[in-house]
Amino acid sequence: QVKPQFESRENRTYGNFNAIEYRTQVVAGTNYFIKVQVSDNEYVHLRVFQSLPNEDQGPSLVSFQTGKTRDDPLTYF
């Protein structure tokens, strides 16, 4: 759901966009830290915020890190 937001901020389109790992952090909603494979050897880490259900808002891309590898640990950023 956040692929268009990421592509817009990177000013680039990705044919491959597969989440391979994620972690969560519960706050006033939920932060999702997601490792996404965007090419054979290129990965990005996304931080996505999902507000509480009563706020009726979709997930939003808060931050991201590019230039990651499959072995880079998925940590808070």
Residues 10-29 have pLDDT tens digits of 999 999 999 999 999 999 99
Between 36 and 76, the higher pLDDT residue: 36
CA angle 4, 65, 57 (to 5 degrees): 40
Instruction: Output the pLDDT for position 4.
Output: 95
Amino acid found at 76? Y
User: CB-based burial of residue 38 (10 Å sphere; 0-12 exposed, 13-18 middle, 19+ buried)?
Assistant: buried
Contact 1, 52 (CB under 8 A): no
List, in sequence order, every beta strand (DSSP E) within 1-77: 18-27, 29-37, 43-50, 60-68
Instruction: Output the pLDDT for position 53.
Output: 85
Question: Can you give the pTM of this predicted structure?
Answer: 0.89
Paired tokens of 58: 């979709």
Residues 30-59 have pLDDT tens digits of 999 999 999 999 999 999 999 998 888 889
